[in-house]
Homo-oligomer: A and B are copies of this chain.
Amino acid sequence: MRIRELRAAECGEILARTELGRLACARNDQPYIVPIHFSFDPSDKCLYAFSTIGQKILWMRENPKVCVEIEEITDKNHWTTVVVLGRYHELADAPEDAGARTRAQALFERRREWWLPALAKTDTREHHTVVIYCIWIDRISGRRASRG
């Protein structure tokens, strides 16, 4: 097997075609991983996502440093991983975030079916507050394995 490092532009192309990733946040040195859906367009410098308020949002509000990892796996010898180190920024109703919120919602509209899983809870009668956030990309790296 050969493994090579991906260029930043290659990593961006992979993020743009990916729907599902895993986000890690940390509190008191304890990391925590949760799957997320996100939107990314190569013209942006951040990933956009949304969530109901739960452990990961509370942790990211306390410590904005996060990691997002995505994978494209064909088999044990043919796979690609991309890792983003970044910072959580919540897109509030404040005027300075209005542009980013509009941008995020335009990207979400392309993938409307996400709303259902993101909002599903064991108790569906509960009222859910939805947080829209972005992950500013500080560093991006990727590796691709192939046979030979």
Q: What range describes how many residues of A lie at the interface?
A: 35 or more
Is A30 in contact with B34, judged by CB distance below 8 angstroms?
no
Is B31 in contact with A26, judged by CB distance below 8 angstroms?
yes
- 30 inter-chain pairs at a CB distance below 8 angstroms, sorted by A residue, are A1-B116, A2-B122, A20-B73, A22-B22, A22-B33, A22-B69, A24-B24, A24-B32, A24-B33, A24-B67, A26-B29, A26-B30, A29-B29, A29-B63, A29-B65, A30-B85, A31-B31, A31-B32, A31-B65, A31-B67, A32-B67, A33-B33, A33-B67, A33-B69, A34-B69, A34-B83, A35-B71, A76-B116, A76-B117, A77-B116
Residues of A within 8 A of B (CB): 1-5, 20, 22, 24-26, 29-35, 63, 65-69, 71, 73, 76-77, 81, 83, 85, 113, 116-117, 120-122, 145
